């Protein structure tokens, strides 16, 4: 018995020695999921979270982070781990990772109210606009005065459709990098407005031929481009960086989720407009752009930064509390450098005509009550409130569906004098049924018969270097 006690005593001293040798944070470490379960039990609440966000996280000094108040406890536990909570009903909370690109609607409104106080006349707003514009360009590394290389456009596979023509195109937006897309033109000859059509991040579950079920090949992209061409506009849709055909040059589609993608995509939009304005019949006085989600971000940026754009239609993106969930939209801190947001960027277009399309099931649900009233006031500085419009669909979701395309068609018809009857049935309703939806292979710029030039850049690093050299004025 005495021997047994001595053994137990020895083990106890060893354990105590080990504990004393540990640092305090090691003694009080607990897995986050364990701590969350303890919070549920102690405060009688339900915490909802995804294991992928919590399973590898550890809370230091876990027991010391508990307080009498639940909210204080949640903040103590989650904030050091870059995680946040959100009330989801009575005694229920959602636990998520901190999202730098999102804040509350109340915070967004407060920021807009503060911005309104900064600019009480058009002169003050023009000064603020220049500050924001210069900041964004500098952050992206874009020099609008850089000597631009020859676009060397490649055209092939011209298809004559019902009232429009489609053609596959590649342009060299920087030396060695080719921007691929589809050009849609009216069937006749004349003077036509030009419209850029950048794509967003939507999935498509209908056409299984679409790479990753998304990108510029989606039916909604083809519908809007072809319809606008039937109405009398020259339209160009094009790949975002490291999406679609761009992956053949970047080497990996993961490079889309980088800050550089934001800079490159914005530059590509500028160069795409350079291309459109070289085409026969292009009218430089009628220049438009429209896109949704990530394409909406490009719509906002291009319209704010390129003075050649005369009318724009950003879809499901304008918000004072959401900056874009992809690093290709918000990864470079273009909003942080001048403390701006997407609603103020939309205001930078004023007093040019702009249609904001929003819905009730994403971050644009507040547009009718927060962002649109702000934009009306900003357009009011120029006495042009009639030039800013909002089409809101409270039951719609995050997409560029038919319901959203209809007001866009009417908007550009009004601004550019397009023929809305070209896509209307005998009852006067919009009818897209005569538009041909193609398989993605039919829209590829590079094929066996039309291969990519041998000197094309073939790595993300090489593309970044070429972009930097061009913007800094290196010899082409």
Domain residue spans of the chain: 21-97, 122-471
Name the class of domain 21-97. alpha beta
The torsion angles phi and psi of 166, rounded to 5 degrees, stand at -115, 140
How far is it, in rounded angstroms, from Cα 139 to Cα 336?
Answer: 10
Task: Say what the pTM is.
Answer: 0.86
pLDDT at 263: 93
pLDDT at 7: 40
- Best CATH choice for the domain 122-471 from the list 3.40.50.1820, 3.40.50.300, 1.10.443.10, 3.40.50.280: 3.40.50.1820
Show pLDDT as tens, one digit a residue, over the chain (476 residues).
Answer: 544 444 444 444 444 454 455 565 566 899 999 999 999 999 999 999 999 999 889 999 999 999 999 999 999 999 999 888 988 888 999 988 877 778 888 898 999 999 999 899 999 999 999 999 999 999 999 999 999 999 999 999 999 999 999 999 999 999 999 999 999 999 988 999 999 999 988 755 554 544 445 789 988 999 999 999 999 999 999 999 999 899 999 998 898 888 899 999 999 999 999 999 999 999 999 999 999 999 999 999 999 999 999 999 999 999 998 887 777 777 788 888 888 999 999 999 999 999 999 999 999 999 999 999 999 999 999 999 999 999 999 999 889 999 999 999 999 999 999 999 999 999 999 999 999 999 889 999 999 999 999 999 999 999 999 999 999 985 44
| Closest C-alpha to 168, from 218, 215, 238, 225 | 238
pLDDT at 203: 59
């Amino acid at each position: 018995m005495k021997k047994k006690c001595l053994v137990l005593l020895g083990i106890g001293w060893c354990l105590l020695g080990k504990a004393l040798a540990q640092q305090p944070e090691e003694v009080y470490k607990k897995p986050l999921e364990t701590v969350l379960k303890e919070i549920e039990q102690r405060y009688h609440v339900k915490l909802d979270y995804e294991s992928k966000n919590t399973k590898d996280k550890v809370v230091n000094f876990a027991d010391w982070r508990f307080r009498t108040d639940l909210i204080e406890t949640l903040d103590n536990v989650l904030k050091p781990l870059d995680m946040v909570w959100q009330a989801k009903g009575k005694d229920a909370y959602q636990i998520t990772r901190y999202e730098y690109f999102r804040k509350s609607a109340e915070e967004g409104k407060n920021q807009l109210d503060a911005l309104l106080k900064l600019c009480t006349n058009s002169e003050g707003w023009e000064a603020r606009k220049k500050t924001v514009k210069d900041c964004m360009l500098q952050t992206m590394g874009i020099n609008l005065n850089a000597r631009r290389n020859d676009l060397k456009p490649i055209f092939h596979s011209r298809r004559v459709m019902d009232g429009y023509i489609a053609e596959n195109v590649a342009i060299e937006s920087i030396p060695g990098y080719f921007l691929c897309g589809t050009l849609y033109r009216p069937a006749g000859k004349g003077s036509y407005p030009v419209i850029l059509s950048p794509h967003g991040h939507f999935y498509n579950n209908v056409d299984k031929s679409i790479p990753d079920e998304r990108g510029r090949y989606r039916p909604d992209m083809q519908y809007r481009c072809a319809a606008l061409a039937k109405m009398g506009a020259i339209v160009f849709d094009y790949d975002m960086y490291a999406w679609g055909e761009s992956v053949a040059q970047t080497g990996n589609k993961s490079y889309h989720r980088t800050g550089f993608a934001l800079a490159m995509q914005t530059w590509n939009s500028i160069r795409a407009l350079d291309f459109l304005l070289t085409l026969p019949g292009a009218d430089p006085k009628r220049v438009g752009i429209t896109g949704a989600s990530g394409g909406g971000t490009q719509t906002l940026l291009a319209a704010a930064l390129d003075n050649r754009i005369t009318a724009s239609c950003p879809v499901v993106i304008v918000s004072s509390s959401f900056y874009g969930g992809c690093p290709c939209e918000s990864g470079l801190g273009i909003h942080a450098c001048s403390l701006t947001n997407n609603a103020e960027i939309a205001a930078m277009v004023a007093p040019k005509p702009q249609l904001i399309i929003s819905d009730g099931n994403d971050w644009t649900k507040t547009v009718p009550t927060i962002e649109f009233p702000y934009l009306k006031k900003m357009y009011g500085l120029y006495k042009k409130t009639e030039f800013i419009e909002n089409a809101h669909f409270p039951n719609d979701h995050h997409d560029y569906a038919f319901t959203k395309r209809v007001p866009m068609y009417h908007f550009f018809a009004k601004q550019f004098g397009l023929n809305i009857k070209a896509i209307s049935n005998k009852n006067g309703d919009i009818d897209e049924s005569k538009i041909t939806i193609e398989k993605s292979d039919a829209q590829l710029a590079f094929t066996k018969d039309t291969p990519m030039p041998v000197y094309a850049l073939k790595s993300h690093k090489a593309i970044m270097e070429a972009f930097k050299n061009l913007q800094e004025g290196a010899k082409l």
